[in-house]
C-alpha cells in the first residue's frame, strides 16, 4: 500500500516484483494505490479544475517532479506517468501473477483523473482492479481527518485486504 508518493512507489515496486517472480516463489495478492502521485505533461480535467487546490497545488507537484525525475526528463517519464507509451510492458507480468489492484481517490484531488486513467489502462490489460472514487475530499484527506481515516481503514481498505486474502 502506498499513499500519495507512496502509491507511485507501490505501483513501481509491484511491477518490478511481478517481473522477478518465478513460478511459486512469491504471490503478490494485492497492491493499494491510495491518492497515487502520478502526473503527466498534458493536464487532465481535474488538474485544470483544481490547479490551486490548497492540499496539493499543481505548481508544487510540478516542482517535486522536476526535482525527482532524471535530468532532461519531463512529466511523461514512466516514473511520473504510468500511461506513457501505453503503459509498462510489466503490467502483463502483474496480470499473470494474479495481483489485484485497488485504486482509491477523492474527486476533490487534482490527481483523481490520473488514477481513473490508470484504472482504465489496467482493466484494458486484464488486471483485476477495484476502483473507489468518492465525491468531495482532497489529496490525502484521511491523514488530515481522523474520522475519515477510521472510515477508510475500517471500510474500503479492510474490505480490499480481506478480499485479497480470500483469493
Would the pLDDT of 75 be above 60? yes
Cα–Cα distance measured from residue 46 to residue 40, given in angstroms and rounded to the nearest whole number: 13
Q: Is residue 151 part of a domain?
A: no
Convert the pLDDT of each residue in 139-150 to its tens digit: 988 888 888 888
Query: Number of folded domains in the chain?
Result: 1
Q: What is the pLDDT of residue 23?
A: 57
The verdict on residue 107 lying in a domain is yes
The answer to whether 113 is a known catalytic residue is: no
Q: Is 109 a catalytic residue?
A: yes
Distance set, CA 105 to CA 21, 69, 151 (Å): 29, 24, 14
CATH number, domain containing residue 124: 3.40.50.1820
Q: Do the domain assignments include residue 145? A: no
In a domain, 100, yes or no: yes
Q: Which of 34, 35, 46, 109 is catalytic?
A: 109
Q: Among residues of the chain, what percentage have pLDDT more than 70?
A: 98
Kindly tell me the burial class for residue 49, based on how many C-beta atoms sit within 10 Å of its own C-beta (0-12, 13-18, 19 or more): middle
Residue 166 belongs to some domain of the structure: no
Is residue 148, in this structure, part of any structural domain at all?
A: no
138 given a catalytic annotation: no
Catalytic: which of 4, 88, 115, 138?
4
At 4-32, the pLDDT tens digits run 999 999 999 999 999 887 656 778 899 99
Q: What pLDDT score was predicted for residue 24?
A: 63
pTM: 0.92
Cα separation of 88 and 81, whole Å? 10
Amino acid at each position: 500500500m502506498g499513499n500519495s508518493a507512496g502509491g507511485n512507489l507501490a505501483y513501481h515496486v509491484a511491477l518490478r516484483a511481478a517481473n522477478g517472480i518465478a513460478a511459486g516463489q512469491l504471490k503478490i495478492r494485492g497492491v493499494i494505490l491510495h491518492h497515487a502521485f502520478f502526473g503527466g505533461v498534458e493536464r487532465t480535467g481535474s488538474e485544470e479544475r483544481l490547479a490551486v487546490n490548497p492540499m496539493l497545488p499543481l505548481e508544487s507537484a510540478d516542482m517535486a517532479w522536476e526535482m525527482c525525475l532524471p535530468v532532461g526528463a519531463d512529466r511523461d517519464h514512466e516514473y511520473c506517468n504510468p500511461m506513457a507509451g501505453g503503459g509498462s510492458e510489466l503490467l502483463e507480468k502483474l496480470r499473470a501473477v494474479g495481483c489485484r489492484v485497488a485504486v482509491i481517490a477523492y474527486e476533490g484531488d487534482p490527481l483523481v483523473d490520473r488514477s481513473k486513467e490508470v484504472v482504465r489502462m489496467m482493466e484494458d490489460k486484464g488486471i483485476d482492479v477495484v476502483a473507489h472514487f468518492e465525491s468531495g475530499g482532497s489529496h490525502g484527506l484521511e491523514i488530515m481527518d481522523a474520522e475519515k481515516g477510521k472510515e477508510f481503514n475500517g471500510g474500503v481498505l479492510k474490505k480490499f485486504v480481506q478480499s485479497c486474502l480470500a483469493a
